Every structure is written in C-alpha cells, then in structure tokens.
Structure 1
Amino acid sequence: MRDDAGPRELADELERRLPSGRVLTDPGVTRSYAHDEAEWAPHGLPAAVVRPRTAEEVRTVVRACLDHGVPLVTRGAGTGLSGGANAVDGCVVLSTEAMTAIREIDPLERLAVVEPGVVNEDLRTACAEHGLWYPPDPASARWSTIGGNVATNAGGLCCVKYGVTRDYVLGLQFVTGTGELVRVGRRTAKGVAGYDLTSLLVGSEGTLGVITEVTVRLRPLREPEHTVAGHFASVVDAGRAVAAVAEAGVTPSALELIDRHCLAAVDAWKHMGLSTEAEVVLLGRSDAPGPAGEQEADVMLGCFERAGATYAVRSTDQHEAEALFEARRLAYPALERLGPVLTEDICVPKAAVPEMLGRIDAIAARHDTLIANIAHAGDGNLHPLLITPPGDERARDRAQAAFADIIAEALALGGTVTGEHGVGLLKRDGLSDELGPAVLALNRTVKDALDPRHVFNPGKVVAFPREDA
C-alpha cells in the first residue's frame, strides 16, 4: 500500500509555491479529474489536482513531483478514449485547462503558437479569421484540446487527405523528466538539425514530458466541399465502396462510415430527421478546386453505385450534407446515452476494410454483443463501438472478449491497434503483440532516457513491471 505522507507533503508544498487557487485537494473535486472517457479502464484517486497557468508553474509542479517521488498525470479536457489520462492512487493530476492562450497566428509563415489547453475548434475559428485552416479535426474538436490532440496524435475526418496531428506540429516547449523547460522543433519551412524529438513527443501520451506550448503548421482555407452520400445494405458492401474509391485514385477530403445504430441514436437524441432506412451510410467529400471537385465527387458516386449502394446521390443541399456530417460527429455521445460504450480504434490497410468489417460482424455474433460502427473509412481507421446494458456484468465480459478479438483480427490483417485514440491502458497488450519484444524494449529505452524517474503517467502505453505494482 502506498504511503500517503509523500503526496500530502507535496500538496502542501505546491500550495505554498504556487499562486492561490492552483491546487485542489478536496476529494469530491479531485475525483472528477480521475479518469477520461474510456469505459472500464482502471483509475485511482489523485492526491491533488494542479491547474497551472504558465510554463514556469508547470516546471514547479514537475520538480516537486520529482523531489517527492510522486507520479504526475497530465490531463487536457478528459475526452480521451483509451485511459491515457487516468490517475493512479496518490498522484498529482496536472490539468492544462487554464492554459488557453492563442499566442500567435502568423499568416506569412502560416503557423500558430498555442498553449496546450486551447480547444481544437477555438483554434480553427481563430485561424479562419486570417484565411487559414488547422486541419486535424477529431470528432471531439468542440471539446478536446490541442495538448490532448498532440498527446494522442489525433486525426479526424480530414486526415484521409490532410494527415494527422504529427503532420502539423512544428515545435514544442515542454518540461522534461529532469525538470528542465526546453524547446524542440522549428518555425522554418525546412529543418533537419538533430533527432526529431518533436515527432517523438507527439503521440507519447504524457509519458515523456509535459507539453506547455505547441507551434502548429496552418494551411489556406479550403474550397467548398462536394458531398456524396450512399446507402448500403451491409458494412461489407460499404467497405467495398471504400476500397473502390482508393483503387480509382481519388483522395477524398473525407470518407466516413456511420451505421443505422448510430444514426438512430443521434436522431433519438437530437431529432434531426435522419433516415435510418439504410444499414450503413457512407459519406464522401471532395474539396478539390473548381471542376476537379465535381469530377472527384462523380467518381466516388460511381464507386458507391458499383459496390452495391441501394441509393447514392451527390448532394446539392449544403444544409443536408452538413447535417449528415454533424450526425457522424455526434455518434459517440449519442450512443453513450444507451449504456456503457467500449470504443475501438483499429486501423487496417484500405484494401482490408471490407474484410475487417465482415470480421467485426462475425465477432459481434460470436460474443452476442451489439457493435455499432463509425469509421474514418477512407484511411482504414475503424471505430467499432461495443454497447452493453447498464449493470450487466456478463454483457461487459462478452464485450471485453470481443474487444480483444477485434484487435487480434486487425493485427492479422496487417493493421494496428490504434489509429488516433492512443494506447493508454486499454491497448497495452495489443501494443505488445503488434511491436514484439525487441521493439518494445526500444520503446522502454526511450522512456528510461526521457523520464528516468518514471514520474510521467506511469503504467500507460509501454508499462514497466514496477509501474503496475
């Protein structure tokens, strides 16, 4: 059992060293910071929650944790789906919620400098005022923060064409595992000096340092998009359409899948008048300029029809098109209203999408588990959502077995255990299977080098035996 004298003394020290109101110790409050949105991922109770407002305050927290040997878990908005921000007993949770400054938007260099607590959608709105665009757009963009997006290397609807968070992070300021405040990366258009520590930090889920500032690359605002919608009788048919779009050489600006269960849940919640006649809806978009956009949309339409769509159309109603994509973004919170939802995040080669969707259907039947499907289908990033009745422990056990089987099947098809949600706690076993012992050892060597005291987010991603004790 952990001796709580260290955490108590640390909390007292932080209250002395930081401005008033930064440190929270009331268990009724700290409990609300104990976990993210990952269903059934274990978590403990933090001894304190700290809400710093400056990089120097973050360094003070890190150094105090090092001095007292107390774990530090960094948290953004808590929207994660892998348990990556879950507390361990007696730790300090460092919340970046008060670090919300957009420090700079540079139209000439097409970059922005932000603090980690900036909400993704707020950055995108601010950039639009300068005719610029920040592409990474997770479905949680209205709530998730840039720091959290960087920690998990988040993707989103646009990533099929524009890439994920790592493709847009130019530089970082962060506090190291020895308590130093450092900068890595660049602001220039080119730069290859030294090891790429910036990319190493992106996707590290708070296990290698505490990010205090992010410099991101921006793009010009896009042309209006052309939207294609297709209804399919099965997820496998929709998967064939996805593969056909790739074979046709089209790179859509979005290619999203949403099934009937998700549409029904969204409509029951938001009363949007969505049709639930189709088993699966596939939504494609092109933002190519001028006539090329219409041509790409027509190619996608043909792919949908040849793959067996029961109905397919190029939308001329922008409001209707936006409603469909809004339903896609709302699918997860809508399904949460039905009961506990265990969310997958596998990614497979595009050619394997139909086969993987078929295997997910078979897994659902084998484990008697309701699995709804949403997906960034255009890049093979699938999000099966395993739904169980509240309080049904047997259903929970079946869902967890189905979760493991989905990971195994994704790896068998040459895929990966996570495309954008991160490893956290839920995918550690799957990561071990994916990487193998030699590469796993390399990951642990990196962790040892950057966080020698193992203070940062212990037990997450690549866990060490002593971190699980």
Structure 2
Amino acid sequence: MGSIVEDLKSRLGPEKVSTDEATLAWHAVDQAPVLDYQQPAAVVFAESAEDVQAVIRSCSHHAVAVVARGAGTGVSGGAHATRNSVVLSLERMNRILDLNPDDETAVVEPGVVNAVLNEAAAVHGLMFAPDPASFRMSTIGGNVATNAGGLRCAKYGVTRDSVLALDVVLADGSLIHTGHQTFKGVAGYDLTGLFVGSEGTLGIVVGVTVRLKYLPREVHTIAAFYPDFRRAASGVLAVGRARVQPAIMELLDGGTLAQLDSLHGSDLSSRGRSLLLIQTDGFGAGAEADVVRAVLAAGGAVVTTEASAEAEQLVELRRSSRGVEVDDEYRVGEDVAVPRSRLVDYVAALEVMAAAHSVNLKVVAHAGDGNLHPTFWIDRLDDAVDKEAMNRLNLALDASIATALEMGGTITGEHGVGQYKLRWLGLEQAEPVRELQRRIKQLFDPAGILNPGKAI
C-alpha cells in the first residue's frame, strides 16, 4: 500500500498523512461494538475542501476506500475503518465561516464541535438546536452524517430539520453545493436531505449551512418520579393529550437512576424507580410547566419544582446516562423508536424479553418522539467469551428489534445504521426499497470507495 501513502504525501504534504501505529489504531474505530477490526493504511488530516478533493482523487486513482471521520463519537460503526482504507479525518476543518444573526444562519466546516457553534450562537441569543449527548465532543459533520438527534428533538427536530445547504465532495473529487440560504426552497430534488444521514457513503461534506433557533429566555424543568417505568411512559402520553409541547421529555428507568447515583453521588433512586424529566422553554415556559405538573400529579407522579441548579444537574445527568461504559460485544446500547402510543407496550416487552433471556437491562428514552435507548448486557467471565451468554444477549437484541418493528417502529432513531445494524436493515426495508438505495449509491459512487459496507 506504499503507493497510496506516497501519493497522499505528495498531494497534501507529509505532515497531513500519518501511518503511525497508535494513530491508525485510534482512528480505526468509533464507539460502536467492533465486529471485525480492520487497520487502515493511513489517516489523513484534511484542513480544507481542496485537501478533501485531493484525498478523494488519490483514493479513486488507487481504488482505495475512504472512511470520513469527525470526533469518532458514533455508536453504530459508521466510522469503522475497512481493511487498507484511508481514514479521512475532518477534525482540523473546524472554522465557523459565517454567523448571521439577522438571517439566523451559520456556515461551518464539518469539524466544528456542536458545543462550540452553540457558544458562538448564544452571543446573539441563538442556538443550534440538535443536541446529541456527545455535543461537547461531536462535530457538526458527524451530526449531519448520522442525522443526529438529542434531547431537544421533542420540540426542535433532528439535524436534517436544521440543515439548509451543504458543500460536498463527490467520489470523483468534484465539489458541489446543494440547498439554499433561505428557510424555504423547493427547486429540484432535495439533495441536501439525501446527503444528511447518508453516513459518508454518497459524498464527503466539507461545508454546512445551518438554521439557528432562538435561545430560550426562560426554561422550566419538571422532575416526575414514578414507582415504575411503565407508569412514567404513560405520563408522556398524558402530557401529549394536554397539548403541551415540551422541549425535552426524557425517561430514565430504575437501573439508570442507580447507575447515575453510583457515578455522581446523587440520590435519584431514593425518590422513585423511574424519572420523567420534562423541560419547557420560551416565553410561555412557566404556563406550560404548570399544566405539565398538574397532569403528571394527577397520574400519580411525585412532581417536584426544581431549583435552577438542580434542574441543570438533572439535565446533565441525563446527558451522561449512557454511563462510563463503551459498547462492546458484552454490552450493546440500542436505538429503536416506536410510535409514542406504543411506548408503554414496548417498555413492558423489553422487561419481559430481558427476563426471558436472562440478560441485564436499563433504559433511557427521548420519550417525546418515541426514541428509546435500551442497553442490554451480560457479565464478563474474566477474559473468556461465554458463548452461551453471548447467544442469549444476541437473542434479546434480535427480539428488541423485531418487537419494535411489529409496533410500527424503526431499527434506528438517530444513531444511524453504520456497520452494526446492517444485519437488521432488511427486516425494516423491503427489497425494492433497498435496491433503489443501492442504485443511488451506484450513481454517486460507481467505484464503491466511499465508506463501503455501511448504511445500506
């Protein structure tokens, strides 16, 4: 593979190309379980759109796969390297190119960290609405690649709802611009929407124009503690029937509360076996919060009026509720979504399947849009792989997917298909639909060099 490495160094300069073993290993995987570790041939640190074009042209010439990568915070294996591929790191492309408070838009490079954009927007009373749990580390390019969501999805939607335009390097090295600077625009096919969530399989995003939202001047947080998770899920529907639109509606089960207490020294478990955390925002936040409190209390919840300091702590604890573990073959965090009306049914089914397969379970959920993150795990036996336990874990995972689909749900609400969820994609999408996607992939990437084996 010396030819591709030397060609890259010639085109970009040796300081942007690394074959160091530690660098290769670090950039070979994201935070998803590793099904089959593959070492890349090189890692390239692009600093401009021209650098990305040079990488793509080199890889096209040598028929070498390209895996684009931001901060590596994905959890579906979308940034896992393929054998002898080139990992294209976009983390150095981290400039905010424009922030227009009157138009309420920003233009950023893909390596801009979500939190950094929000800090810049906050000066003008604005925010970038998508807020994945990894917002302090994840990049806007990664948010776009996976169509990331977050806690505020209940009110503000996912990344696609905040992207107006993209600059994209295609598989032949050409650079195109899609979309528009305006909030409205319906000329031609929506190529911007197509690229969002495509996980680097159709092109490499090198510029993003995003729509900003108003930073709420008032925020009210309501914590409702329940004796069990199912009744907490019923509280979500009760709030919906009251026709109140919270910005955040998050569910945490007893296992999650116990883990957070252990990690952070909180006392959540002593207050209930499940927590429904709701946040209203905007000028009507107080009035909406009053309605929410009354509705939840009528449903049997112990409802608290949190002081601002504790409200912020509760939101931060929820953001870190995946815990300190990283997903691996023994522990898998899922990302299914079901219609909100089936939340209670699905939670009940999860508890049954965990017991049936003798695996551990904890659940958090973006309950406002029916997106659940059940985590199944089995205990390790020293360094040996317990094949019987692994089989039980996989049976539970398969059951969780099948049940979600039976209820009209999806195999992934916000993390993407990546590499890990390909095994279930055919259960959700019929073959004619998958064939159309393969034909789109062939049109954009005829040589198949862009993140092969991912997403479709």
Give the TM-score of the pair, scaled to structure 1.
0.93
Aligned partner of 1:158 in structure 2 is 152
Q: Which moved more, 1:186-195 or 1:365-374?
A: 186-195
> In the alignment, which of 25, 32, 50 is matched to residue 19 of structure 2?
25
1:298 corresponds to: 290
Contact 1:136 1:155 in 2 (8 A): yes
Corresponding residue for residue 69 of structure 2? 75
Residue 187 (structure 1) aligned with residue 181 (structure 2):
yes
Which one of 141, 151, 159 corresponds to residue 147 of structure 1?
141
> Is the counterpart of residue 314 in structure 1 residue 305 in structure 2?
yes
What corresponds to 1:422 in structure 2?
416
**What secondary structure does 1:385 align onto?**
strand
The alignment partner of 1:194 has SS state of coil
The reply to whether residue 354 of structure 1 matches residue 348 of structure 2 is no
Q: Residue 240 of structure 2 is aligned with which of 236, 243, 246?
A: 246
Q: CA deviation at 1:108?
A: 1.2
CA contact (8 A) 2:168 2:177 kept: yes
Distance 2:14 2:326 in 1: 37
Comparing 80-89 with 295-304, which one deviates more in the overlay?
295-304
Q: Given the alignment of the two structures, is residue 49 of structure 1 paired with residue 43 of structure 2, yes or no?
A: yes
Distance (Å, rounded) in 2 between the aligned partners of 1:395 and 1:304: 40
Contact 1:262 1:334 (8 Å CA) reproduced: no
The answer to whether residue 317 in structure 2 is matched with residue 323 in structure 1 is no
Q: Paired residue for 2:162, among 147, 157, 168?
A: 168
The CA deviation at 1:302 is 2.9
Describe the superposition over 1:106-140 as per-residue Cα deviations: whole angstroms up to 9, x where unpaired. Answer: 01111001111111011101110122111100111
> What RMSD in Å do the two structures reach over aligned CA positions?
1.7
- When residues 191 and 93 of structure 1 are mapped into structure 2, their CA distance, relative to the original with a 3 A threshold, is same
Partner Cα distance (2:107, 2:193) in 1: 17
1:268 maps to which residue?
262
Q: Which residue of 1 aligns with 2:273?
A: 279
Q: Which of 121, 128, 137 is residue 134 of structure 1 equivalent to? A: 128
- Distance of 1:87 and 1:320 partners within structure 2: 41
Cα distance between partner residues in 2 of 1:409 and 1:36: 27
Structure 1 CA distance for aligned equivalents of residues 271 and 305 of structure 2: 18
2:333 to 335, 343, 346: 343
Q: Per the alignment, in what secondary structure is the counterpart of residue 312 of structure 2?
A: helix
Query: Could you tell me how far apart the structure 2 residues matched to 1:94 and 1:338 are?
Result: 24
Residue 294 (structure 1) shift: 2.3
* CA positional deviation for 1:432: 1.4
Counterpart in 1 of 2:365? Answer: 375
Segment drifting more, 139-148 vs 31-40? 31-40
- SS of 2:321's equivalent? helix
> Does structure 1 residue 332 correspond to structure 2 residue 322?
yes
CA contact (8 A) 1:236 1:358 kept: yes
Q: Tell me how many residue pairs correspond in the alignment.
A: 452
Looking at structure 2, the residues matched to 335 and 229 of structure 1 have their Cα atoms a distance apart, in angstroms, of 26
Where 1:11 maps in the other structure, the secondary structure is helix
* Distance of aligned partners of 1:347 and 1:443 in 2 relative to their CA distance in 1, 3 Å threshold: same
AA aligned opposite 2:293: L
Give the deviation of 1:192 after TM superposition. Answer: 1.5
Contact kept? 1:266, 1:335, Cα under 8 Å: no
Structure 2, unaligned stretches of length 5 or more? none
Match of 2:455 in 1: 461
